[in-house]
Structure 1
Amino acid sequence: MPETRCLTAAYRRYLDCLNERRWDALGDFVDDDVVHNDRPLRLSGYRAMLEGDVRTIPDLRFVADRIVAEGDVVACRLIFRCTPERPFLGFAPTGTSITFAEHAFYTFRDRRIVAVSSMLDTRAVAAQMAP
């Protein structure tokens, strides 16, 4: 149980890093050889992906709705309430805020994220952004 609490705390610090846009500190939480949805990205590619997300959605905040940890895995349901300013998932920005969820599993090794498997609620995005 103490180890899962440590991973949950590390994960919350990772979310703080993202929300504070402390990109230079990302390596404190993410392994150099991180894999995202079965794609090897390396830390530089993972950072570029997140920076691109923030360019598209400047008010993007990673808000944990539910966190569950077991062994070396943290699962989280993230809720996003944001306003895309650039095309997002193939939809032109509308100027209005949208709300959607992401469900993600993070595998840790030595208290750093080595793999992420995530799925966005694209139907919720489409329902709010489609013309």
Structure 2
Amino acid sequence: MPASASELVATIRGWTQCVNEKRWNDLPKYVHSTYNQNDIEYTPESWAIHLREHVAPQLGGDIIINEDSIIVDENTQCASFSIWVKFKPEVPLLGYLPKGRDILLVERGFVWFTDGKLSKALLAVNSDDIRKQLADPDANFMPNLINEDPVPKIEAPLPRKKLEEIYRAYVDSFNARRTQSEYAKYVHRPEAALNNKTLARRIMDDTVTAIPDLQVQIHTLIADEESQRVAVWLKFTGTPVKEYAGLVVDGNAVQFTEHATYQFVDGKIQRIWGFMDWDEARQQQRPAGPKPIPVL
């Protein structure tokens, strides 16, 4: 029998609490007998060892995980989640030496469950925000959190299937380059800041200018009827023609991921929380560069 939404949320909260309390021996009970995280296979025991001996030491050991947002789809036994982590690195990270100060990390992704336990995960970390903090010890940084924006009052919420339909049409519009004429069809106040005080349209236009053949595929999508929010895991593919976001022009296509959550109001996007995993693309061009941030 599929687990309920509350049971799935409890599983996510259980493993984060284990990490916070360093109860490494308790972690396996939240994991299915086979667990795939970012295409790496683990057993419950090897995953606990990986967190204890690899991830925690790189992040300084004193890790505090804070919940941001969880959206659950009981039908697919899948959840989108966002957490932010406070840690104090003690070893070089992303090519920077530790500065003896707390760093805030945002991690977002999707997890799937079998028999109520974690069986698969796709996770991404916003490494660029971490670089800003490591490069400038005096940087005043706060993560762009979903839970800081309350769910707006919505008079006539759309059914889940309709939210999915609108979002897929929005992606189709981007891939067909109809954004110039159709953007206002999908977005409230297109001139307003939608993502971390930045115009989402400007990010879109700048990225397409640098990667004109950019195409996006929806890997995973969850729509929540109660909050009118849609969470997506997107895969981008394209060939840079100008330097952008640390990418160089070498004639080769790159692939990268975006995790985003959209707030819909009256069938249009009102707010976006998301980030692109540019490190994923940079690693394809410079595999000998600094190792990426470990995910939890």
Normalised TM-score (structure 2): 0.40
The answer on whether the counterparts of 2:216 and 2:237 sit within 8 Å (CA) in structure 1 is no
Amino acid at match of 2:173: C
2:254 corresponds to 1:98: yes
Distance 2:250 2:194 in 1: 29
Cα shift at 1:123? 2.0
Residue matched to 2:244? 88
2:187 corresponds to 1:30: yes
Gaps (5+ residues) in structure 1?
none
The answer on whether the counterparts of 1:35 and 1:116 sit within 8 Å (CA) in structure 2 is no
Cα shift at 1:128? 1.3
Structure holding more strand per residue: 1
Cα shift at 1:76? 0.6
The answer on whether the counterparts of 2:211 and 2:238 sit within 8 Å (CA) in structure 1 is yes
Cα shift at 1:92? 1.7
Gaps (5+ residues) in structure 2?
1-157, 290-296
**Kindly tell me: are residues 54 and 40 of structure 1, through their superposed partners in 2, closer, same or farther at Cα, counting changes over 3 Å?**
closer
> Could you give the per-residue CA deviations for residues 107-128 of structure 1, whole angstroms, max 9, x where no partner exists?
1111100111112112212201
> Could you give the per-residue CA deviations for residues 66-100 of structure 1, whole angstroms, max 9, x where no partner exists?
10011311011100121111112123211111111
Residue matched to 1:60? 214
Structure holding more helix per residue: 1
Q: How many residues align?
A: 127
Say which of 51, 66, 69 aligns to 2:205: 51
Say which of 272, 275, 295 aligns to 1:116: 272
Say which of 159, 163, 174 aligns to 1:18: 174
2:230 corresponds to 1:79: no
Cα shift at 1:40? 5.5
Greater alpha carbon shift after TM alignment, 86-95 vs 5-14: 86-95
RCO higher in structure (CA 8 A, sep ≥6): 1
The answer on whether the counterparts of 1:31 and 1:113 sit within 8 Å (CA) in structure 2 is yes
